[in-house]
Chain A
Amino acid sequence: MAGSMMSNTERIDAASVFHSHASEILRVIETVIDGKREAVEMALTALLAEGHLLIEDVPGVGKTMLARALAKSVGCSVNRVQFTPDLLPSDITGVSVYDQSERRFEFKPGPIFANIVIGDEINRASPKTQSALLESMEEAQVTVDGGTYRLPSPFTVIATQNPVEMEGTYPLPEAQRDRFMIRISMGYPDEDAELAMLRTRELSSPLDSVTPVVSTEQLLDMIHKVRTVFVSRAVEQYAVAIAQATRRDAELRLGASPRATLQLVRAAKARAALNGRDFVLPDDLDALAIAVLGHRLLPTSRVAGRTGNIGTSAMSDVVQRIVAATPVPLGAVGPA
């Protein structure tokens, strides 16, 4: 069924095809990651919204596992880069090599040339190497030695990182953080999930059983479907109002960028499609605000002092408060 050819028929069929594909992907991933439905949905949301995903948590909670399961569930090219302090930019983008026989330089593409790039422990690399990702993530292209090379489509970076206070980490620069559409934390599994994991992992890696359920073309179709999701003026106003509020908030030093607003709406479209709707609800923005905005905001020192670090939970509280205080514009009639 997964391999069945895509049906190019009517809208209602497209919707049901989209829905069945999405549920297949989620089901497959959930065979690997137990009890993390929210994180899994967020990851798929980023993929469908053509955004990049940042998974941040302590080691050993399944960050890499999620990234690999997601990559494996779709039939795309996948490359994995393990970031280390001595990793060089050219190790990612690729190098130009002199071809003696042809008497010219030939570009050898690096691991970035894939539909899905898994950047493992991205904050262990030096800032120089991290910034090598910048251009490719934003513009889906690589420039090496004067030559510009397009990256394949779809192109998504799924990066994992440890919290900054861990040893041997370089915090991601703000510009780089802003390029990730969604940041999620895995969190520890609950008791049942951890027990189940113990039982299944003993025998074999569950990742081995993951097979692609969606082809590249089908994934592109799904992405296209997400693009057509309708965003009403009221929802646009709501997104802008939230972004503006982060820029005025007393607890924030740096508010959400216009890119953040754009990505919030894009992610909301993907979420709406995943929930079987062809239009975005304000609820989608509410549900995504922390994941999309949280890692882009910089707190004032007061908040940092309160929490001891610029930790995830403190920023979540701030975002949640802002979202809760922003009036929801409605279509025809004024707010009650």
Chain B
Amino acid sequence: MTSADPTRTRPGASRASAPRASRPGAPGPAATLQSSVALFVALVFATWGMRVLLQGLDWWLPLILVCALMVGTSAITRTLTRRRWVPPLVNAVVLLGTLTALFAPGTGLFLVVPTARTWASFGANITAANFSIQTQAVPAIADEGITFLLVAGIGAIALIADLVAITLRAPALAGIPLLVILAVPALTLLDLSDAVSFILTAVAYLWLLRAGRPVGQRRLSFALGAGAVAVAIVLPIQLPQTSAPSAPLGNAGFSTGVNPVLSLGRDLRRFDEHTVFTYSTSSGKPQYLRLVTLENFSGANWAPAVVKVDDNRTVNKLPAPPGLAKNIVKKSETTDVRVGNLVSTWLPLPYPTSSVSGLNGRWYWEPSALSVSSTDSTVNGQDYQVKSVIPNPTPGQLAHAGTQVPNGFDKYLRLPPDMPPIIAATAEQVAGNLTSNYARALALQDFFRLGSFEYSETAPVSDGYDGTGVSVIAKFLTAKSGYCIHFASAMAVLARTLGIPSRVAVGFLPGAANKENKGVDGREFTVTSHDLHAWPELYFDGVGWIPFEPTPGRGVVPSYAVHDINLDPLPNAAAPDITVPTGAATAGPRVDPGQQNGPAAGGFTAESGPPAWIGWLWFGGTVLVLLVLGLIPASVRAARRRRRLRSLRDNTATASVAWQEILDTAEDIGARPPNTATPRENAAGFDAMIGVPPPSRPGVVLVVHSAALERVLSAVEHEFFAEALEEHESRQLADDVVEVTAALRSTLPRREAFLARIAPASVWRRIIRVIGHRE
């Protein structure tokens, strides 16, 4: 039987004959339990990352429970059986039973056995979840449909993660299901903003890697996992941050609905301007169309009033707007709206609307702001007619309102207790000495619109104060740069500090008159995604809610709010300006791609982009990172060799270490010894490679000619198979290893020897074995 015979067949069925106990690397029960706990922790942290998508934390508990259920069930099952297919099967059954009991109560046999009705109920849940996801804005409310989807999905992911990480003992692969969970918020919001949950999950993942490996492989698997996590951190940073020309409104996921706050800036910054809806008015004049009004200010953000399902609140008749007195001049208007690409459950409407017709689905109004919302439909593709009565108060009427605030308007004055002092100070400075609310409102509008503020869609993001909270407003007042939502929320908050009831309206600018496609009476207006806008509405006793326009360069100032005209305002003073396309009127750095010729089209202006050297820095960094990554296997191999030789010289290692180093070297140079050959057969094979052919004397123990190899072999044979260790000098073994491995490497041409060092096969095989552990 010659050594290292290439015709030796690979081990097939006989492999399984090795007794289980001898299998290297089978973790004990304690290690398995630790793996289970680590996996559970990783899952919990990964699911926590979804909090950026969902409101509150109520949805988290069911997810924790289902993860615990999956990991725990399979841990218990593993103690009862060794068959690897059993735990996932039991898990699947348990998951199905749990879903049946929780989400389709009363449909299952004995509560948990699903029936046809259960599946129908699941289907309904999925439909509801899909609708909910399409229509809700981030952060979404985790209703029953979404919770069902989360529990089912996370349960399945936990099942898979447990299967690969613990049952199949490939903990590195568990990173994939974990990454799937982490990727959901990242894909939906298009940024990996949630570093905390990412880091926590990564730490738990590394723990899982460490716990799941036998001691000998821990170092390598840990290094591998740490490398993967490092790449995962580096890559998102490397990706250009504003390179997300996302799908048009209404394609996938939460963020596509019009989010009152979060997605406003994002939508404004989008490159792909697209038509949201077109409308025509009976008067031929353009209108602001409002989606929703944010009236509850928590200090951290603005939130809309909730629309209740109430059959008395259907849209064929809306109530009169609150506070509007009879003596105000009003003008009836009929607006035809054809919605194109806009997925929202809020209806774009002029304020105040008196009735809406032509809608599909069930739509309800909300009494305080007269916003209209649906429980089962979106505005996407709808074609409807709106009747409205637009008040046009004179400045005199407004001034007459004085500083009175009617009862029940406290919530429009509510402010958080701990506001940055700059807010109150600014309000006092701008309008503190004025007497009427109207004069104060005008002063505030002028402060923003005519003062030193400038419009910028990017400044708040790059300086990190995007949003509507009090701290953002304080920064905004200092930086004096922002876009509509900052102006709107700042003016609303300043108004509240001055005692004027205020709220923030989110909707669309009037858009541009469409020249080719004539509307009903010759004027049709096209509103695009770039017309998304926010503005403050202030309340005046006897007049009601009226809008202001503090954003410089955007929109039009209403006639009653034009400062210079105080006694005889032009009715509809806004009209002449409105034909100017709003995009061009933007004062900020935004460049409308449709109006830009030349190579710069489609990008931000230079001042908002990073300088060129940063690009080169990134490029160099990437090359460096890749270089370092590429050298990892070689350095791992070299470190392992050094460690082995050192321990041999220190006399702390046995001959098997020397032997393993020779085997690894042989593998590196492409002569991996088969594990079906005895050490002596392998040694004879190396002998032949080095240049000494083995004597062909069958039946006699193979003689190894290389003295160094023979010494190592003899020592290792004693270690493996003899009763007592052979007396040998460990230091001598180290020298022998150096001699043998050098001789083995010298059999390769120089180029291949170099490649063997750069990409050592022994390391790669370990990596593959760690990833797809199938021993």
Contacts and interface: CB of A to CB of B under 8 A. Distances in A.
A13 interface: no
B663 A336 contact: yes
B702 A283 contact: yes
Interface in B650-706: 654, 656, 659-660, 663-664, 667, 672-673, 675-681, 697-702
Contact of A279 (B11, B654, B660, B718): B718
Contact of B9 (A235, A325, A329): A325
B568 to A, nearest CB: 96
B723 A241 contact: no
A305 interface: no
B25 A334 contact: yes
B688 to A, nearest CB: 16
Q: Is the interface of B mostly helix, strand, loop or mixed?
A: loop
Contacts of A278: 722-723
B720 A326 contact: no
A262 interface: no
B17 A241 contact: yes
Nearest to B19: A237
Contacts of B678: 281-283, 286, 328
A329 B22 contact: yes
A331 B719 contact: yes
A283 B680 contact: yes
Q: Which of B660, B672, B722 has most chain A Cβ within 10 Å?
A: B722
Contacts of A332: 654, 656, 719-720
A166 to B, nearest CB: 26
Interface residues on B, range: 35 or more
Interface in B120-136: none
A108 interface: no
Contacts of A335: 24, 675
A327 B678 CA distance: 9
B308 interface: no
A97 B592 CA distance: 126
B774 to A, nearest CB: 13
Interface size bucket, A side?
35 or more
Tell which of A320, A321, A331 has the most Cβ of chain B within 10 Å: A331
Task: Decide if the interface of chain A is mainly helix, strand, loop or mixed.
Answer: helix
B1 A328 contact: no
B9 A42 contact: no
Given A332-B654, A334-B25, A336-B663, A325 B676 contact: yes
Interface in A202-223: none
A230 B775 CA distance: 29
A16 interface: no
Contacts of B5: 324
Name the residue among B8, B17, B19, B700 with the largest chain A CB count within 10 angstroms. B17
Most buried by A among B24, B654, B678: B678
A245 B11 CA distance: 11
Contacts of A230: 721-723
A333 interface: yes
B717 interface: yes
A41 B698 CA distance: 11
Contacts of B9: 321, 324-325
B219 interface: no
Given A287-B698, A320-B1, A328-B679, 5 more contacts: A245-B13, A278-B722, A281-B680, A329-B18, A333-B656
Name the 7 nearest CB pairs between A and B, nearest first. Answer: A334-B24, A331-B720, A335-B675, A279-B722, A38-B699, A230-B723, A245-B14
12 contacts: A230-B722, A232-B723, A234-B720, A244-B17, A245-B17, A281-B721, A287-B698, A325-B12, A331-B720, A332-B656, A336-B664, A336-B672
